[in-house]
Structure 1
Amino acid sequence: MWRAVLILCQLFVSVRLLQFPVNSTGTIRPQDCTIDCIRQGRPGCDFCRITSDDINQVLGLTSKNVLGNCIPWPCLQLLGDEDPSICQHYVQAPTDVQVEFVPNLDPNSDTVVVSWKPSQYGIAFLRGFQVTMQPLTGSAASCQLFLFRRNLTLSASHAEKVYKSDPFPGLPLGSHYAITVMAVPVPERWERFYRSKIFTTRSCEEKNGFQNCKADWYPKHVEVQQRGTVITVTFNLAPLSLGIKTYFTICSANGKTTYTEIAPNYSLNRTHHSFELRDLIEGSNYTCEIAANEIDAVRKLFRFQVKHSEVVFVSPSWTLLLPLCCAAVAIFVILWVIIRRCHCARMNKSNIKSESIRQLEEVKAQEEVMILSEKCKNPPRLLICYSSNDGPAHVNAVMKLGAFMQQHMATQVCLDLWDSLRMAEEGTLEWFCHRMQESDFVLVICSKGLCRKGGSSEQDLLGSELMVSLIGAEVGRAKSDGRDLSKYMAAIFNYSEEADIPTELGLVFRYRLTADLLLLFSQLHQVRLHTPGRYVKINNISEQDFAMSPSGRALQQAISDSEKAMKESS
């Protein structure tokens, strides 16, 4: 009997040792416990959050921001070096990484919690997880480290358990992030120990509602009334809590555009405001946009027609009719004399177009359109990478793209086709590494043959598998160091697909050419394409007019030829 009781006690203790902090939803959340508790394997230390103070104490460091560096911490130093084999086994990457938004009181930021499941491969040797939150815009990353107690061994059934991180607060709305969950330990000789997921925080409208967002707010109710040739526009004002003080409207008709800035007087009316549009052309149809005077503000479109003004006659009394007639005759005589004297001057000017009026129209147009010069004193240096596995037509399209960007996009292009002498001197691999370090930007032209194996030469191999690996390693290193990822870009021509972009380039900006030439120019020169009431115009780059230049037509023809060659080869 005592033996049976002893067996039951042992079973009870073993069950208690495998218990996790599981809540009512079946998920496992981290606990507060110390490094000593983890090392000694005491109950209650099954899934512990490790703070920067714990790291500093164990490793003997004094920096307060050690945990923010997001380095996979040495397993031996954290869990003890009595048994080195505990940190030398293969553990595969977690699965089913999800991001959940949780409530917070800050209207300008989001708070998220990350959840995942451990992989069943190597789960018996799993020691914990590290979760990294990396903004794609390049600011510092934040990390959370979780460890199991050293004598805890998970079974394959725990691969169905859902683990959750602590909240990541203060994420700005509308921002892009890459979340990475890696399994601990992290031996250097193994790969695929982490799982990444890109997500975007909610917009202000999604979180706070439309009426509480400055960037998303726009006048919802617009009323137009005409009095003579004057148009009175009435619209609803933004809530005072948004801090919007001024607005603007842009009206176009007959090829002319008029910009009007509006500054309401909130002491008179806090909900609506009326303003007048003057000097309008009778009988013309106007298309107008109205918005808050904020960057990237949403605009409200409205249209109206300026009707011909009507003169209403009122029957006067006979006692007033005679003086009015005499005054009208006198005015007529005076006007006739003036018109007679100025007749010759008017005849001379009637057939000559006023140069001053034309210049005034051009000045007004420049007030609405900011033309950016194509010449740049210090053009950005761009390295274009590609694969020659897709045939000479694809290579020709890449070469024509480089010529077009160098001529019309104020960019210094580096292409192996133009630097064969230096490549022969340095060697293909060293040339590529040197140019990647020297360049301000690296653009990878992705196609079906980019990662196709079996190149016929070293250059073919570099242009595909090895090139992608090197760039992917640089992107991963920049992400780990918290550096800006905007240096690296991926692009596809019209005949390629999103699936042709390798997974190693999943974190970089993507473009489809030639439709996104303006967006590519914006990233290369760090300029905004739109501001309130103005927009940047770069000649020969937009999708409508890029083919007007000789190099643009050559690029368009090269892309068309490459597309035909692709279809014939398939």
Structure 2
Amino acid sequence: MWRSALVLQLVVLGLPLWAQDDNTATALAPQDCTLDCVRQGAPGCEYCRITSADIKEALGFNSIQEFGSCIPWPCLELLGEEDPEICQHYVQAPNDVKVESVHEPNSTTETILVSWKPSYYGIAFLRGFQVSLQALGGSTIACQLFLFHRNVSLVAEHAQRVYKSDPFPGLAVGSQYAVTVMALPVPEEWERFYISKIFSTRSCEEKNGLEQCKNDWYPKYVEVQQEGAAITVTFNLAPQNLGITSYFSLCYANRMKKYTEITPNSSKNNTHHSFQLNDLQEGTNYTCEIAANEVDAVRRAFNVQVMHIHKEGPRTHFVTASLALILPLCLAVVVIIVVILVALTRRRSKLQMKICDVKPDVIRQYHDSGSQEEMVSLPRSRLTPPRLLICYSSFDCPAHVKAVMQLGAFIQQHMATQVCLDLWDSLSVAEEGSVAWHCRQIRESDFVLVICSQGLNHRREPSGQESDDEEADRRLNFNAFSSNAAIRLMVEEVCRAKARGQDLSKYMAAIFEYSEETDIPTELRLVSHYRLMSDLPLLFSHLHGVALHRPGGYLKINNISEESFAKLPAGAALQRAIHEAGLAIGGKRPNSVEEGE
């Protein structure tokens, strides 16, 4: 049967392709038609949307709410009963996938529409499409299923047709998503049946304008005044239509931070507000930020220079004659001592310069040149970003898995690196098997990063009976657990490479701040290992092969440091995920109670 399918496919490919030029691209929108109409092959059911109600009527159960109208094998379940052979052919993945925004009255959400073209290869056996939408670093949001009637037979010139999905509403503005378009049917042992595309929805500023966005608004007028010990800051308030009622200010200097929460009274003044900055050290320059108390709000930076405050002591109205004589004498003695010390110091410095034969001009020139630092740019020899595979253990807790997922999203967005993570490629993992998928990714990736944790050395103890909750947990996390087997295979490869004297720079190990150095397996101590997020610049240097420092220069990449990464939305989400995982894992360690005591 497979051989005959391939022969028919070659016949379709042999059709004259000159007909494509005469066939203008027409966009086909989904139709409302019953599932019976699709099965019977009526002419009015050319391109039909399949709803959850159709799935329930056909299969007798409700489809999972998160997956909408999609089911794992739609062709076999819905069309295979009448004619199983129509679901047994190869169909190539669609191409030219495009995502466009459509009108959405809600200012906080976005609605998108997906369009694509079918492939020439196997188009005669095409039965429909399945479109799924997934938040980058999250789970599937929605899925739509579209089927042709069973008697349809497309030819090669129909590959110029443009097919559209139904709108996907309710997407967050300024967020990243991945859309996957799958060609039906999907036979076994076939890997090129779908195509994925990563896109970003419009930001609030692009959709509504700056003045209509909470996250994009920031105070444009900031004035600082100091009168004695009182420091007053005045700034302009947000427009009332944004509904911003709270603000905050953050000042930091010398590794000290001062947070001030601000709640203006709009009944007194609805345009400007003044507040006090307290408990700041005298003679210190502070860098401060002020913003609306909203998630990912833009911050306005300003400087505060705290002057010295001269405090006058109580004046003495009566000065005795003995004190008037002692003070001039003490001042004369102090002046003489200072002159002697200055003379001795200058004499010693001249002797040292003479002995070392170093000219003062040379020393001055050296100090002047020390402030001239050179910026180091990234090498442009690499045409594509490095490919990084992240392996981890899910035996700790879901919070640890979330931290790993947020780390992958941050590295892909802000560290010029292509990240491979099994959580983002569930279709390929389900098709190949988790172990086979990890082995292939290890071969094809430029680098492999193992996130070590306490659960990495966990071993499930076999028991006689398994509860229902344990059985469900085992089934849901089977693919994630099998990444431990891939880690063991990688550990063996590291040991063999070390024994042969080969380069080990491809492999790395890392721990989050809530893990310990002992969580790193002994074999992985042979490779470079880092503590995140303090060693984030070192990890960036390893991935791109650049030196952090060199004579007269240093590596400076925006937002790639322990202090600045959290200013980005992805960095803030990563910092919060690491904090939550630390709280969840900290109480599970056996020595956590003893350390607290």
The code of the aligned residue for 1:28 comes to L
Give, as a single letter, the amino acid of the residue that structure 1 aligns with 2:233: V
Question: Quick one: distance in 2 between partners of 1:136 and 1:414?
Answer: 25
Residues 33 and 49 in structure 2, CA contact (< 8 A), matched pair in contact too: yes
The answer as to whether partners of 1:72 and 1:130 remain within 8 angstroms in 2 is no
TM value normalised by structure 1: 0.53
Q: CA deviation at 1:96?
A: 1.2
Q: Answer yes or no: is 1:51 the counterpart of 2:51.
A: yes
Distance (whole Å) between structure 2 residues aligned to residue 440 and residue 291 of structure 1: 44
Alignment match, 1:194: 194
Q: Residue 239 of structure 1 corresponds to which residue in structure 2?
A: 239
Go from structure 1 to structure 2 and tell me whether the alpha carbon gap of 1:250 and 1:43 turns closer, same or farther (over 3 Å shift): same
Query: What is the deviation of 1:244?
Result: 2.5
Residue of structure 2 in register with 1:27 after alignment: 27
- 1:437 corresponds in structure 2 to 481
What are the within-5 Å matches in structure 2 for residues 386-405 of structure 1?
none
How many Å apart are 1:75 and its aligned residue? 2.1
| Equivalenced residues, count | 373
- 1:119-176 C-alpha deviation (Å, 9 max, x unpaired): 0001011111111112244445421111112222111111111111000111123333
- 1:527 alignment partner in structure 2: 578
SS at the partner of 1:142? strand
Partner Cα distance (2:485, 2:170) in 1: 30
Give the match for residue 87 of structure 2.
87
Q: Distance in 2 between matches of 1:434 and 1:71?
A: 20
Looking at both structures, which has the greater relative contact order when contacts are Cα pairs under 8 Å and sequence separation is at least 6?
1
Partner of 1:220: 220
> Structure 2 matches for 1:170-569, cutoff 5 A?
170-227=170-227, 230-252=230-252, 257-277=257-277, 285-305=285-305, 332-333=315-316, 411-412=453-454, 414=456, 437=481, 494-496=541-543, 526-527=577-578
Matched with 1:322 is: none
Question: Is the aligned partner of 1:114 residue 2:114?
Answer: yes
- Please give the alpha-carbon distance, in whole angstroms, between the structure 2 residues aligned to 1:230 and 1:516: 30
1:568 is matched with which residue? none
Aligned AA for 1:103?
Answer: H
Cα distance in 2 between the residues matched to 1:295 and 1:118 = 41
How far has the Cα of 1:300 moved from its partner? 0.6
SS in 1 for 2:196: strand
In the alignment, what sits opposite 2:352? none
Partners of 2:239 and 2:486 in 1: how far apart? 44
Cα 1:438–1:241 shift into 2, 3 Å: farther
Q: Which runs of 5+ in 1 are unaligned?
A: 1-23, 311-330, 341-377, 420-432, 465-490, 499-510, 530-570
Give the secondary-structure state (helix, strand or coil) at the position aligned to 2:68: helix
Question: Contact 2:52/2:69 (CA < 8 Å) preserved in 1?
Answer: no
Following the alignment from structure 2 to structure 1, what is the Cα–Cα distance between the partners of residues 149 and 305?
A: 76
Q: Which residue of 2 aligns with 1:545?
A: none
**What does 1:57-96 align with in structure 2 at a 5 Å threshold?**
57-61=57-61, 65=65, 68=68, 70-79=70-79, 81-96=81-96
- In the TM superposition, residue 225 of structure 1 has moved relative to its aligned partner by 3.7
User: Does the 8 A contact of 1:493 with 1:513 survive in 2?
Assistant: no
Does residue 1:143 correspond to 2:194, yes or no? no
Residues 25 and 161 in structure 2, CA contact (< 8 A), matched pair in contact too: no
Q: Is this contact kept in 1: 2:126–2:183, CA < 8 A?
A: yes
Quote the offset at 1:280 in angstroms.
6.1
Q: Normalising to structure 2: TM-score of the pair?
A: 0.51
Distance 2:160 2:232 in 1: 65
Q: In the alignment, residue 53 of structure 2 is paired with which amino acid?
A: D
Q: Once the 2 structures are TM-superposed, how far is the Cα of residue 79 of structure 1 from its aligned partner? A: 3.2
Deviation by residue 1:364-400 (Cα, 9 ceiling, x = unmatched): xxxxxxxxxxxxxx7969999899989xxx99xx8xx
Q: Is the Cα–Cα contact under 8 Å of residues 118 and 159 in structure 1 kept in the other structure?
A: yes
Deviations 1:85-121 (A, max 9, x none): 3222211100011111111112221111111110000
8 A contact 1:124–1:154 mirrored in 2: yes
Q: Which residue of 2 aligns with 1:97?
A: 97
Q: Is the 8 A contact 1:52 1:66 kept in 2?
A: no
The residue identity in structure 2 corresponding to 1:97 is V
User: Cα deviation per residue 1:224-258 (whole Å; 9 max; x = unaligned)?
Assistant: 34445544322111223333322222334577543
Q: What is residue 155 of structure 2 aligned with on the other side? A: 155
Amino acid at match of 1:150: R
Structure 1 residues 254 and 114, CA gap change in structure 2 (3 angstroms): closer
Shift of 1:512: 9.6
SS of 1:53's equivalent?
Answer: helix
Q: Deviations over 1:45-72 (max 9, x none)?
A: 2111111222222333355849627324
Gaps of 5+ in 2: 1-23, 324-395, 405-420, 422-437, 460-476, 507-537, 546-558, 581-597
Which range moved further: 380-389 or 271-280? 380-389
Per the alignment, in what secondary structure is the counterpart of residue 124 of structure 2? Answer: helix
2: CA distance between counterparts of 1:514 and 1:135? 26
